[in-house]
Amino acid sequence: MGRAAASDIAAALRERLARQDRVRMVFAAAPSQAEMLDALVTARDIDWRRVIAFHMDEYLGLPAHAPQRFGVWLTRHFFSRVPLGAVHLIGQESDPDREAARYTALLAGAPIDFVCLGIGVNGHLAFNDPPVADLHDTKQVKIVELDAICRQQQVDDECFATLSDVPTHAITLTIPRLLGAHQLFCVVPGAAKRAAVEQSLYGPIGAACPASALRTHPRCTLYLDRDSAPPRLQTPARA
């Protein structure tokens, strides 16, 4: 699954770089993305110097070099492994509101070409959990309170030892900002995600399952494995 997604992302990058000077990409930070990123690092014939990287969310309240920070995770797993033209990390301003404004301005500087993302066990996209998700949000980046299911996922993913260690607030790109990209590549492995995938594909489109909004995007590919694919899908490798 990870290799299939990376192959498609690499092909899209080559095609885009053949007809424009720069490509701007947003990346998710999660163990679910690790195999895809590992495969993408080995992709050939990509001029990474013309790729500008962003990420989609970050905890508030963790030390700058904490290993659980998403910027730190992405730097270790991807940003430091390819010669990117620029990397814009969330968390450079100490005041969350100023940081949201700074990152909003960076994202607005030019169109976003690609977003590489996943789906949370509660159906979240980035840190847009069901209690705070707004499919028509007027903001591009905002401060959110994380719900208990989202925080428990971080423990289950072995990113934190206990629930009390997981920050309660974060900064996130909103759903309209994510869906404003030209093309989305959504990588979702594991049995823990099956119910969320089922709701995303077949449930009502709305804030109860934020990932259902992916169905409104004309160029979104969802990559599943046998564990995450709902039973009604006949081709579980990709939907």
Residue 236 is predicted with a pLDDT of: 44
Question: Which tens digits make up the pLDDT trace of 93-117?
Answer: 889 999 999 999 999 999 999 999 9
Could you give the residue ranges of the DSSP H alpha helices within the chain?
2-17, 34-41, 70-74, 96-107, 148-156, 175-179, 194-202
CATH architecture of 1-227: 3-Layer(aba) Sandwich (3.40)
Burial of 65 (0-12, 13-18, 19+ CB in 10 A): exposed
Q: What is the residue extent of each domain of the chain?
A: 1-227
Q: What DSSP state is assigned to residue 192?
A: G
Please check the confidence at residue 238 and state whether its pLDDT lies above 90. no
Model pTM score: 0.93
Question: Which tens digits make up the pLDDT trace of 156-182?
Answer: 888 899 999 998 999 999 999 999 999
Residue 111 is predicted with a pLDDT of: 97
Q: Report the residue count for the chain.
A: 239
- Cα R_g (the chain), whole angstroms: 17
